[in-house]
């Protein structure tokens, strides 16, 4: 039995840091766990241009703890007003590494997103030309579609036609949740990849709903059936470089999560590596964790792999029940009040 594991320092290829006062907490937590993070642009207001991204990046860097090496990789928010010239300026900036697609209304701060992809194909063609990946929240936005079917339908209606039309466009399906998504990624060329979250590898919809709703496990895309979870964890631990780490860690104040209309998102910035280690150990695949967490994402984005390491040890620990967050509120981490088997030394 392995009791200690030293691996390349991981990166998080999908994280939410929010903005302004929230950065005091979220940046410190992310910098403790990851060397680089792909920062989502669905702030309020959203990050739409290279100038927006530079200003946001400066605010993030102002909150990095002294002496901690940490690099935020910026993204732009795709809107109906995004143009090829915006894409070209983003690439020329040197700090924007991708553009994020939110179908309008599917998740937190997605109201500025797009309702149809058909008018944006010139933008996607420019992205393919300059080498900027498209990051996709892959859910159909039609409210009449069952929430558990929206990922599969989005793949059929939007992603397959887009990939067929522009096969050179690099696409990351973020936080995939279904067997359908795994099969799509596996069946396509090297330009299609996917990120996987700790909650979707470890939990299913029974965990969320049985015995009472667990608001801190509610996220979008929502947790699915056990058959889908099994497909996800098999993909993550397969050694296939098309699947890599992306926590989708999303900070929401306790008062907002535990309300009559609780918001979607799991906060895992500090506990993610413990959860991933548990998931990989379940599959007897701890030897595959290093590449999933520290190699494949960097390779897909064309960035150098990190050269320093972290060590995970098999040692029971219980994350704090909460962290101070914003004025008088709290932030509940994924795994709060639970015994986790692995921790970062």
Catalytic positions: 248
CA distances for 35 relative to 77, 85, 249, 292, angstroms: 23, 31, 15, 15
Could you tell me the sign of the dihedral formed by the alpha carbons of 326, 332, 15, 24, in that order? Answer: positive
The C-alpha torsion from 222 through 152 and 191 to 310, rounded to 10°, is 20
Binding residues: 14, 16-18, 42, 100, 137, 175, 220, 248, 252, 264
Q: Are strands 329-331 and 323-325 parallel, antiparallel or unpaired?
A: antiparallel
Binding residues for substrate: 16-18, 42, 137, 220, 252, 264
How far does Cα 138 stand from its chain's mean position?
Answer: 12
Binding residues for Zn(2+): 14, 16, 100, 137, 175, 248
> What single DSSP character describes residue 44?
S
Token couple for 71: 């690099």
Closest among 209, 203, 206 to 233, alpha carbons compared? 203
Q: In what order do the strands lie in the sheet with 4-8?
A: 4-8, 309-317, 340-344
């Amino acid at each position: 039995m392995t009791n200690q594991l030293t691996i390349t320092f991981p990166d998080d290829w999908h994280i939410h840091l929010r903005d302004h006062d929230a950065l005091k907490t979220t940046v410190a937590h992310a910098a403790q766990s990851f060397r680089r993070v792909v920062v989502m642009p669905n702030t309020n207001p959203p990050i739409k241009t290279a100038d927006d991204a530079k200003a946001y990046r400066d605010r993030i860097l102002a909150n990095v703890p002294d002496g901690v090496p940490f690099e935020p990789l910026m993204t732009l928010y795709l809107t109906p007003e995004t143009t090829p010239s915006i894409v070209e300026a983003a690439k020329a900036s040197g700090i924007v590494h991708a553009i994020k697609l939110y179908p309008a209304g599917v998740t937190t701060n997605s109201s500025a997103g797009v309702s149809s992809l058909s008018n944006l194909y010139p933008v996607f063609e420019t992205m393919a030309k300059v080498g900027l990946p498209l990051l996709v929240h892959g859910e159909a936005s039609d409210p009449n579609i069952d929430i558990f079917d929206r990922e599969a339908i989005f793949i059929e209606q939007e992603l397959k036609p887009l990939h067929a039309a522009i096969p050179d466009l690099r696409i990351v399906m973020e936080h995939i949740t279904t067997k359908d998504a795994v099969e799509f990624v596996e069946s396509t060329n090297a330009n299609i990849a996917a990120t996987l979250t700790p909650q979707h590898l470890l939990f299913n919809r029974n965990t969320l709903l049985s015995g009472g709703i667990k608001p801190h496990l509610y996220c979008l895309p929502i947790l699915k059936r056990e058959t889908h979870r099994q497909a996800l964890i098999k993909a993550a631990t397969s050694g296939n470089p098309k699947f890599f780490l992306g926590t989708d860690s999303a900070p929401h104040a306790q008062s907002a999560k535990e309300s009559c209309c609780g918001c979607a998102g799991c906060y895992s910035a500090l506990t993610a590596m413990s959860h991933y280690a548990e998931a990989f150990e379940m599959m007897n695949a701890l030897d595959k964790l290093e590449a999933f967490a520290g190699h494949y994402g960097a390779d897909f984005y064309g960035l150098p792999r990190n050269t320093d390491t972290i060590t995970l040890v098999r040692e029971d620990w219980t994350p704090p029940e909460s962290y101070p967050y914003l004025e008088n509120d709290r932030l509940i981490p994924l795994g709060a009040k639970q015994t986790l088997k692995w921790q970062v030394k």
